[in-house]
Copies of this chain bind each other. A is one copy, B any other.
Amino acid sequence: MDLFRQDPQVLNVGLASFRDAIAQAGGAVTQIEWAPPANGDRAVGRALARLVNDPTVEAANRVAYKAYLAAQPVLVGIGVAIEAIATMRPRLILHSGPPIAWDRMCGPMRGAIVGALLLEGWAADIRQAQDLAASGAIAFEPCHHHGAVGPMAGVISPSMSVWIVRETVSGGLAFSNLNEGLGKVLRFGANSAEVIDRLRWMAGSLRQTLALALAETGPIDLKPLMAQALHMGDEIHNRNSAATALLLKRLAPAMLRSNASREDVAAAIDFIAGNDHFFLNLSMAACKAMLDAARGVAGSSMITAMARNGVDFGVQIAGAGDRWFTSPAPVVDGLYFPGYSIADAAPDLGDSAITETAGLGGFSMAAAPAIVNFVGGTPDDAIANTAAMGLITLGQNSAFTLPAMNFGSAPAGVDVRKVVDNGILPIINTGIAHREAGIGQIGAGITRAPLGCFTQALSALADSLPET
């Protein structure tokens, strides 16, 4: 009876003119934003209907998600790419994102490849390097095809140093290059003498010093260190201050116990202490190791990689092996440094979205209110972002708890079905590169993975399953 005594409360779905008429007449009306899945694409809708609650997919996702949850990434060493990565070859250069040929690459990736050719001594100057790269004599393949990841251009050439991370449950290995710091750096396409000199030092003195330190520390469990950093304001993608400091606390005493020379130790500690992003590449390798544990589970709709090459945004799912599903990479509508705008930006770039794929970065935004501040939001926005990601994931990773969510766990294991069904796209925290090589970072922001990757993956998964 109470119901009839109250004023009507109207919910309107669809045409806004109905809402407007009620509002103009003084009524209370709430407009519900709703769109059919995949913007009404009927084929995708049918694929989705087949996969939602499908027992094969549900069972496969349990297997894949459990493997991701159980994964234990451990830093076991540092090596030279050509020696450490079993599938690395001479005249091969790895890059971020899905496969791409030289003539389609964005400016920063080309710049980084030119730098790598100079570093390797395969070319004497930039012109020679560009000609060599275009000649077809050099192979370009995604880092992801070699168990590796790299931020921004993500370039790894044979002589570069790589972190070696072992996932102790599966025994799998994951690799990443070392973080160069900010300013003029290869990953943003810079290739001047100062950049090449730094990479030479990183491939020599720094690698040797870190190797001696790791021989002293023994393997370093990365998951507890990352969990601690989440309690100290990092989301371990765009903010790595705490994680870097925690790593330095482990490495510095070990360097001093080792045989490394005082000069080498001083230079290594100076470099790490001066680069708050030093841990990023290790975070990425750890996430890669955790997600590779979930690969190759037939029928699973869980995302195992999101990666961008500055032209294409690519997604892989556990149920489709190494196959990429790509859409044009978005340009990031973030905060730009003074003097730059979105017109200067390269489209979204780098393998670092592997952190979001593993439940960190944008997915754990609630852990790092300072990041939201940086891109113009509030701590409440951060909490809302993390909560929203919980609507497209298979569960929560209790290894990664978030103080601002009352120590609730990070949402993890993106389910391609939920992305398409809810129309909620994964949030990615990212830096923004200038579209020309060598200018470097010009901003930072929050972006979304494009829907097309997910609808393609969904359709492919549906096609791979027998009709019921």
Which A residues form the contact surface with B (CB < 8 A)?
231-233, 241-242, 245-246, 248-250, 252-253, 256-257, 262, 265-266, 269-270, 273-274, 369-370, 373, 378-380, 403-404, 406-407
Complex: A404 Cα to B233 Cα, angstroms: 11
Besides the known contacts A233-B233, A248-B248, 19 further A-B residue pairs in the complex with CB atoms under 8 A apart: A231-B233, A231-B370, A232-B233, A232-B241, A248-B252, A249-B273, A250-B273, A252-B252, A252-B269, A256-B265, A262-B262, A369-B407, A378-B406, A379-B403, A379-B404, A379-B406, A379-B407, A380-B406, A403-B404
Among residues of B, the one whose C-beta sits closest to the C-beta of A261 is: B262
Complex: A468 Cα to B274 Cα, angstroms: 60
Q: Is B245 a contact of A403 with CB atoms below 8 Å?
A: no
> Can you list 6 A-B pairs, Cβ within 8 angstroms, ordered by A?
A245-B246, A252-B269, A369-B407, A370-B403, A378-B406, A379-B404
Complex: A75 Cα to B250 Cα, angstroms: 25
Complex: A245 Cα to B231 Cα, angstroms: 14
Q: How many copies does the complex hold?
A: 2
Q: Is B403 a contact of A369 with CB atoms below 8 Å?
A: yes
Contacts of A266 in B (CB 8 A): 253, 256-257
Contacts of A257 in B (CB 8 A): 266
Closest CB in chain B relative to A236 CB, distance in Å: 13
Q: Is A262 a contact of B270 with CB atoms below 8 Å?
A: no
Complex: A102 Cα to B253 Cα, angstroms: 41
Complex: A379 Cα to B367 Cα, angstroms: 13
Complex: A262 Cα to B259 Cα, angstroms: 11
Contacts of A232 in B (CB 8 A): 232-233, 241-242
Q: Is A252 a contact of B231 with CB atoms below 8 Å?
A: no
Contacts of A273 in B (CB 8 A): 249-250, 252-253
Contacts of A373 in B (CB 8 A): 407
Complex: A252 Cα to B246 Cα, angstroms: 14
Among residues of B, the one whose C-beta sits closest to the C-beta of A403 is: B369
Contacts of A407 in B (CB 8 A): 369, 373, 379
Q: Is B248 a contact of A270 with CB atoms below 8 Å?
A: no
Closest CB in chain B relative to A447 CB, distance in Å: 23
Contacts of A249 in B (CB 8 A): 245, 248, 273
| Most B-side CB within 10 Å, residue of A269, A274, A406 | A269
Complex: A269 Cα to B269 Cα, angstroms: 11
Closest CB in chain B relative to A240 CB, distance in Å: 12
Complex: A301 Cα to B258 Cα, angstroms: 56
Complex: A270 Cα to B232 Cα, angstroms: 22
Among residues of B, the one whose C-beta sits closest to the C-beta of A369 is: B403
Closest CB in chain B relative to A263 CB, distance in Å: 9
Closest CB in chain B relative to A353 CB, distance in Å: 24
Contacts of A380 in B (CB 8 A): 406
Closest CB in chain B relative to A226 CB, distance in Å: 14
Closest CB in chain B relative to A76 CB, distance in Å: 21
Closest CB in chain B relative to A370 CB, distance in Å: 5
Contacts of A250 in B (CB 8 A): 273
Complex: A270 Cα to B265 Cα, angstroms: 14
Complex: A252 Cα to B266 Cα, angstroms: 8
Contacts of A265 in B (CB 8 A): 256
Closest CB in chain B relative to A364 CB, distance in Å: 14
Complex: A266 Cα to B370 Cα, angstroms: 33
Q: Is B242 a contact of A256 with CB atoms below 8 Å?
A: no
Among residues of B, the one whose C-beta sits closest to the C-beta of A380 is: B406
A256 and B241 contact, Cβ closer than 8 Å, known pairs A370-B231, A379-B406, A407-B369: no
Contacts of A378 in B (CB 8 A): 406
Q: Is B245 a contact of A270 with CB atoms below 8 Å?
A: no
Closest CB in chain B relative to A381 CB, distance in Å: 10
Complex: A407 Cα to B370 Cα, angstroms: 9
Contacts of A269 in B (CB 8 A): 252-253, 256
Complex: A249 Cα to B246 Cα, angstroms: 10
Closest CB in chain B relative to A346 CB, distance in Å: 30
Q: Sorted from nearest, which 5 A-B pairs have the closest CB atoms?
A: A245-B245, A256-B266, A369-B403, A249-B273, A232-B232
Contacts of A404 in B (CB 8 A): 369, 379, 403-404
